[in-house]
Chain A
Amino acid sequence: MAAPGATSIDTAAAHIAGATALADWLVIAPVALPILGGALLLMVRHRTRVHAVLAFLFLFASFLSSAFLLARVVSEGPLVMTMGRWLPPFGITFNADVLGATFATAATFVATVAAVFALRDINVTGRRYGFYSFLLLMVAGVDGAFLTGDIFNLYVWFEVFVISSFGLLVLGSERRQIDGATKYAVLNLVATTVFLITTGMLYGTFGTLNMADIARKAEGLRETGPLMTIATLYLLAFGMKAAAFPLNYWLPASYHTPRIVTSALFGGLLTKVGIYALLRTMMTLFPVEREVLSGLIGWIAVATMLLGILGALAQSDVRRIIGFVVISGIGVMLSGLALGTPLGVTGTILYAVHSILVMTALYLLAGLMHEAGGSYSLHETAGLYRSHPLLAAMALLLVLAAAGLPPLSGLWPKVMLVKASIESGAWWLASAILVSSILTVIALGRVFALSFWRMDAGETVERTDAERAISPGAGYGVLAALIVPAIAIGVYPEPFLRLAAAAAAGLADPASYLDAVFPPGGGS
């Protein structure tokens, strides 16, 4: 501290004057609420009865705040909040634009629904070991990654959700879980470390970590700085997180091992954070480098979608089939990134939202099929159509959605991506998307045909009473909560298309994003 009487240092140029407007706190609400909830749940760890209620309330509140945030961002443009009152690029900035707010809304919605499903899937022991705390902290990490405007902070949020996902993955400590978790943990750690290496190099080159500042300075450094190297390393790190070929082997090794609600959350949320980070770095920070890499990304996309779905065709465990379908969807999303046209990126964003909803729903469907039929194996389940007609109807809808058939949400993004590929002359990309869709119909249609239509499996499963469905109604309700928005996107796509197009426009032309962080005529 300066001695009394000494002139106080004028920090007006680096500080925000005055308090943050109350409404601006909305930017961090989707992150702060789950962290608070997670901490609170740790304090009441032994009172497992209140866990689900508290978790639901906090998740629902963060869903509502994300939705309000999205509404505000759509009407008023990107919202910025800077921590510690240090003006950007010094302080850590939270920066909500349409893309981040859309993903955060979808993610918190899915997490809220999954928290309800967890009531039937996670027993008292699992809750005492902190299932709901891990869930809330993972949601906080995912939301933080979607909303932050600082690349090192993005790394920190990655670590937050990765370490929470470790906790969720090993919850139960079965042999298969420990086996899967070992591979998941090592490979994800390597991916985030590559992310950190790249961020270190980026800092050495740019001298800043604020994403808007990086985007602003990239133009001047293109001649001298190793921007191509940095962009390629980000592609490697985030491609690994997103489970893009050939770095996707951790996903089929681990996603089928934990509790089904955990698989559902992982399949819905985690790979999409990788896609989000790829979109943010490639489209906003390094658009010129993305142009150079577009051919590589395109072939990665083709390999990911085709090899992913071929993997699904060879599996007999429903959860492993869905794991490979998740990978195939990542390929479809990468195709829009490879094209880089507004239509392609819009398709990618809409597909990501669709994938968050539908992949979660598919895993939950597998969980309900297990409750109804007693097994995950296609060799053993049969005749569910007769015993559970409502479940069969929802399963059929989800098969259509995942394959990209009307009237569900998978159709429009695929139409846009195919159209964008043909417009760019990338016929091979368009045909790969179509072929992978047909193979998805076969892979998931076979699940439907064998588990629901087939009368008798030949092999009977010994079932104990504990495995029998507790109350099918609640499970159907949870599944319906995910299917309804998917149908809404499919039948009335107009508002969702506008939203995705606005998000894509904000990515491709970051002017409003930059203006929000560095107001013209003010700040630095």
Chain B
Amino acid sequence: METALAGLVGLFYAVAIYLMLSKHIIRVLLGIVIFGNAVNMTIFTAGRIVREVPPIIPAGAERIESVVANPLPQALILTAIVISFSFFAFLLVLAYRAYQELGTDDTDEMRVAEPEGESLPPLGY
């Protein structure tokens, strides 16, 4: 199970990185979404996958005797999902505003902050 998931995670990373290498913001954003999900699956797989047995101590017992699912990765993933979701919401708005203001989603043409052909500082006076 881990091996199959690891392969899937690798595929996710490949797709995400391919998309993020694009110079169009919209593809970069799609890449970021997949990247975020790839990370969540990485953590999930890294926590080892045990199905069927929930991590609950039976009544009367003091500790868990058998192998159970690890709850911590799920807590980590939940945190990461919330964070990446809020980031992505911000990025979507930012990209849309950038498209409105700059009239392009091509990063090569987004040169307002760093204009091309700026003059060198004066060499003397």
Inside 8 A of A454's CB, which chain B residues have their CB?
Answer: 125
A189-B87, A200-B43 known; A315 vs B121 contact (CB < 8 Å)? yes
Interface size classification for chain B: 35 or more
Tell me, in angstroms, the Cα distance from A173 to B100 when the chains sit together. 12
Please pick, from A156, A170, A200, the residue contacting B46 in the complex, using a CB distance under 8 A: A200
Is the beta-carbon distance between B91 and A186 smaller than 8 angstroms? yes
16 pairs of residues in contact across A and B, judged by CB atoms under 8 Å: A9-B57, A159-B87, A170-B94, A178-B94, A178-B102, A189-B87, A196-B43, A199-B43, A204-B46, A204-B47, A253-B113, A315-B118, A316-B118, A378-B122, A379-B121, A382-B125
Is the beta-carbon distance between A193 and B36 smaller than 8 angstroms? yes
* A interface majority secondary structure: helix
Inside 8 A of B79's CB, which chain A residues have their CB?
Answer: 152, 156
Inside 8 A of A186's CB, which chain B residues have their CB?
Answer: 25, 28, 32, 91
Tell me, in angstroms, the Cα distance from A205 to B114 when the chains sit together. 43
- Taking CB as reference atom, which chain B residue is nearest A257? B113
Within B100-125, the residues touching A (CB, 8 Å) are 101-102, 107, 110-114, 118-122, 125
Inside 8 A of B114's CB, which chain A residues have their CB?
Answer: 252-253
Inside 8 A of B90's CB, which chain A residues have their CB?
Answer: 163, 166, 185
Looking at the assembled complex, report how far the CB atom of B64 sits from the nearest CB atom of chain A, in whole angstroms.
11
A163-B86, A176-B113 known; A190 vs B101 contact (CB < 8 Å)? no
CB-CB contacts of A310-321 with B at 8 A, as 1s and 0s? 000011110000
Is the C-beta of A179 less than 8 angstroms from some C-beta in chain B? yes
Please pick, from A6, A181, A193, A317, the residue contacting B60 in the complex, using a CB distance under 8 A: A6
Inside 8 A of A181's CB, which chain B residues have their CB?
Answer: 94
Within B30-51, the residues touching A (CB, 8 Å) are 32, 35-36, 38-39, 42-43, 45-48
CB-CB contacts of A182-216 with B at 8 A, as 1s and 0s? 11011001100100110111011100000000000
Inside 8 A of A190's CB, which chain B residues have their CB?
Answer: 20, 32, 35
Tell me, in angstroms, the Cα distance from A493 to B98 when the chains sit together. 47
Is the C-beta of B52 less than 8 angstroms from some C-beta in chain A? no
Looking at the assembled complex, report how far the CB atom of B43 sits from the nearest CB atom of chain A, in whole angstroms.
4
Is the beta-carbon distance between A6 and B101 smaller than 8 angstroms? no
- Taking CB as reference atom, which chain B residue is nearest A318? B121
Interface centre among B86, B110, B111, B114 (most CB of A within 10 A): B114
Binding site for B on A (CB under 8 A): 2-3, 6-7, 9-10, 152, 156, 159, 163, 166, 170, 173, 175-183, 185-186, 189-190, 193, 196-197, 199-201, 203-205, 252-254, 256-257, 314-317, 378-379, 382, 446, 449-450, 454
- Taking CB as reference atom, which chain B residue is nearest A317? B118
Is the C-beta of B76 less than 8 angstroms from some C-beta in chain A? yes
Looking at the assembled complex, report how far the CB atom of B14 sits from the nearest CB atom of chain A, in whole angstroms.
14
Tell me, in angstroms, the Cα distance from A257 to B121 when the chains sit together. 19
* B interface majority secondary structure: helix
Tell me, in angstroms, the Cα distance from A227 to B68 when the chains sit together. 26
- What would 10 more interface pairs be, CB under 8 Å, given A9-B57, A200-B43, A254-B113? A166-B94, A178-B97, A179-B111, A196-B39, A203-B43, A203-B47, A203-B76, A253-B113, A316-B122, A450-B122
Is the C-beta of B83 less than 8 angstroms from some C-beta in chain A? yes
Interface centre among A156, A197, A205, A378 (most CB of B within 10 A): A197
Looking at the assembled complex, report how far the CB atom of A199 sits from the nearest CB atom of chain B, in whole angstroms.
8
Tell me, in angstroms, the Cα distance from A379 to B121 when the chains sit together. 7
CB-CB contacts of B70-86 with A at 8 A, as 1s and 0s? 00110010011001101
Is the beta-carbon distance between A200 and B25 smaller than 8 angstroms? no
Inside 8 A of A317's CB, which chain B residues have their CB?
Answer: 118
4 tightest A-B contacts by CB? A204-B46, A200-B43, A316-B121, A180-B113
Tell me, in angstroms, the Cα distance from A422 to B38 when the chains sit together. 45
A6-B60, A182-B25 known; A173 vs B121 contact (CB < 8 Å)? no
Inside 8 A of A382's CB, which chain B residues have their CB?
Answer: 125
Looking at the assembled complex, report how far the CB atom of A165 sits from the nearest CB atom of chain B, in whole angstroms.
11
Tell me, in angstroms, the Cα distance from A382 to B118 when the chains sit together. 20
Is the beta-carbon distance between A179 and B113 smaller than 8 angstroms? yes
Please pick, from A185, A254, A257, A316, the residue contacting B119 in the complex, using a CB distance under 8 A: A316
- Taking CB as reference atom, which chain A residue is nearest B25? A182
